[in-house]
Structure 1
Amino acid sequence: MRGWAWACLGAVWLSASALAAPDAQTILANSDAVRNPERSFGLVVSLVSYKDGKQNEASSLAVYSRADQKSGQFRSLLRFISPSRDAGKLMLKSGNDLWFFDPSSKASVPISPQQRLLGQAANGDVVTVNLALDYQATLAGEEDILDGDRQPRRSYKLRLTARNAGVTYHAIDLWVDRDGYRSRKAQFYAESGSLLKTAYYRAYQPVLGRERPTETVIIDGLNPRWITVLRNSQFAWREVPEAWLQRDYLPRFRAE
C-alpha cells in the first residue's frame, strides 16, 4: 500500500512538473508581443555598418506597419530616407511577398527577404515580423548567457524552424528572458546549417505601452569584426491606410 501511495505521489509530481514546463510556442509569442506593438504604428530605423571598427555605410528608413486581420502577421511599408541617392524608394512586405519600388523607373520588382540591405542586415531584418507565425519553436532548455551589454541573463533557449521557404532564415536559435520574455540574443542559420549572423537586442525603453528593444547589434557569422547596428526611434501609434499596403499603390504613395 505504501509503495502504491509513493507511486501515486510520484505520478502527481511528474504531472505537475509537466504542467509547469513552459510551452515553447507560447514563449515565442510572448517575446513577439514584447518586440512588436499590438496595433498599427510607425517608427524610423537607422542602420550603420562597421568593418574593422570603422563606419562603412549608413541608411535610414521610415517604417509603417499594421497586422493583417486574417493572418495576424504584420504588413509593412518602408520608405528610404537616406542616403540621398535612395530617398523616396519604397519596400513593401505583404505576407511572404516583398517588393522594391524605385520612383525613377516607376517599377516595382519582387525581392528576397534574404537579400542584403546594408552591412549584415537583410531586407527581412527591418520589417516587422511575428516569429510565432512563421516558425515552429521547440524548447532547447535554459541557459545563463551574457546579453548585448555583457550582463548575465537566465534565459529560455528556443530552436525555431521555418514553417515555409518564404521567410528570411531557415532556422534561428533565440534566447528569451525567463522573466519578462525579452529577446536577448539570436543566431540565424542558412539551410546548410552554417551560421549567418548573431544578433543582440538591447536598449530596452518604454515604447508604445511597454518596454521594447530599441537597438539591435548584428555580428557577421564569418567575421566578427563586421557589425551592423539598427536603432529604432520616433515610435508613434498611427493609422496605416490599407491602400499603402497594396503593390499597385506604390507609384502614388506620398510621404506625409
Structure 2
Amino acid sequence: MSERVLKRTVCAAGLALLAVVSTPIAGARERTAVEILEAADAVRNPPGSFSVKTQLTEYRQGKQSANSTLTVFAKPNSGNGQYRNLIRFVAPARDTGKLMLRNGMDLWFYDPVNRASVRISPQQRLLGQASNGDVMTTRLARDYEASLAGRESVKDGEGAQRDTLRLKLVAQREDVAYARVDYWVDAVNDRPVMARYYTAEERLLKTAYFRKYQEAMGTLRPIETVIIDGLDSSWVTVMQTTGHTPREIPDEWLQRDYLPRFAAD
C-alpha cells in the first residue's frame, strides 16, 4: 500500500470513529423538570414511614433568641404518595405535648390544655423563619408544577461553588406553604442546594440553604437547613434533623379525633 493510500485510509478511519463517538446514544434524553424534582425529593425524604427529631433555633443579630424541639412522624398516603404528618412538641416545657396534624389538605393544631383542635395554615410561622409547612415532610413534586430555568453555578450553604439545575416551582393549590419557589438542585447528584420562597405577589419571603449532608436511612441527606429572612438577613433560623428512624405509624394517629388520646413512646 502506497504512503498516500495509507494516509487516506487512516484519515477515513479517524472520521468514521469520530462519527461513532459523536452519535447520541439511542434512547438517551434529557430529564424533565418533574423528574429532577422527584429525584431531589427522594434525597430529602426517606422512603416509607419514619420518625425524626427536628430542632429549630432562631437567631437575631447573631444572638440566639428562641428554640423549639419537635418529633415528626411521617407516613406516605397510599393514594397519592404525599406524606401525612403528626408533629409532637417536645420543648420548651410550655409547649410540651402540643400537636400538629397534616392529613391531605387539612392542617390542625391541638393544645392538650384546653383539649381543642383548631385549623391552621401551613404558611403560618412556627418559629422565626420556619413555617408550619417547613417542618412537615413533603414531596414538592406533588404540590408544585416544575419547569427548568437553566443551569447555574451557585455557592452552597458552606461556601463551595456548585453546578446546579435551577427549577421554577409554582403551587398547584392554595393550601401549599409557598406560592412560588426557585429551587437549585446539584446537577450531578440531585441534592437540594438552596431555595428562595416567594409570595403570590413575587415578594421574597426567605432563602434557605440545605447543607451538612450525612447518612440517614440509606443515603446522604441534608440534616441542616439555614433559613434567612427575605428583608432582614440578620434574622436567621436553623433547622436541624436527627435520629431518622423507620417505624410503623398507625393510621389512627393521623386522625383529628385521635389527637386527645395520642401518646407516643
Q: Name the TM-score, length of structure 1 as normaliser.
A: 0.93
Alignment partner of 1:190 is 2:199: yes
Equivalent residue number for residue 223 of structure 1 = 232
1:176 to 159, 168, 185: 185
Alignment partner of 1:207 is 2:216: yes
Equivalent residue number for residue 153 of structure 1 = 162
1:93 to 79, 96, 102: 102
Structure 2 portions without partners, runs of 5+: 1-21
Q: What whole-Å deviation, never above 9, does each CA across 1:79-120 have from its counterpart, x for those lacking one?
A: 000000000000001112110000011100000000010000
Q: What whole-Å deviation, never above 9, does each CA across 1:21-60 have from its counterpart, x for those lacking one?
A: 2210000000000100111000100000000001011000
Equivalent residue number for residue 121 of structure 2 = 112
Cα RMSD (Å): 1.6
Seen in structure 2, the aligned counterparts of structure 1 residues 103 and 153 have a Cα distance that, compared at 3 Å, is same
Secondary structure in structure 1 of the residue aligned to 2:242: strand
- Cα distance in structure 2, aligned partners of 1:219 and 1:204: 19
Q: Name the TM-score, length of structure 2 as normaliser.
A: 0.90
- Cα distance in structure 2, aligned partners of 1:189 and 1:16: 40
Shift, 1:255, TM fit: 2.2
Secondary structure in structure 2 of the residue aligned to 1:32: helix
Equivalent residue number for residue 239 of structure 1 = 248
1:43 maps to amino acid = V
Secondary structure in structure 2 of the residue aligned to 1:20: coil
- Cα distance in structure 2, aligned partners of 1:255 and 1:23: 41
- Cα distance in structure 1, aligned partners of 2:175 and 2:169: 15
Shift, 1:15, TM fit: 9.2
Seen in structure 2, the aligned counterparts of structure 1 residues 254 and 150 have a Cα distance that, compared at 3 Å, is same
Equivalent residue number for residue 40 of structure 2 = 31
Alignment partner of 1:253 is 2:230: no
Secondary structure in structure 2 of the residue aligned to 1:199: strand
Aligned length: 244
Equivalent residue number for residue 76 of structure 2 = 67
Secondary structure in structure 2 of the residue aligned to 1:77: strand
Seen in structure 2, the aligned counterparts of structure 1 residues 150 and 252 have a Cα distance that, compared at 3 Å, is same
2:110 maps to amino acid = F
- Cα distance in structure 2, aligned partners of 1:114 and 1:84: 24
Shift, 1:19, TM fit: 5.6
- Cα distance in structure 2, aligned partners of 1:90 and 1:65: 13
1:248 maps to amino acid = D
- Cα distance in structure 2, aligned partners of 1:17 and 1:58: 54
Alignment partner of 1:166 is 2:166: no
- Cα distance in structure 2, aligned partners of 1:93 and 1:14: 50
Shift, 1:20, TM fit: 2.9
Secondary structure in structure 2 of the residue aligned to 1:22: coil
Seen in structure 2, the aligned counterparts of structure 1 residues 125 and 82 have a Cα distance that, compared at 3 Å, is same
Structure 1 portions without partners, runs of 5+: 1-12
Equivalent residue number for residue 3 of structure 1 = none
Equivalent residue number for residue 15 of structure 2 = none
Seen in structure 2, the aligned counterparts of structure 1 residues 15 and 189 have a Cα distance that, compared at 3 Å, is farther
Secondary structure in structure 2 of the residue aligned to 1:112: coil
| Bigger-Rg structure (1/2) | 2
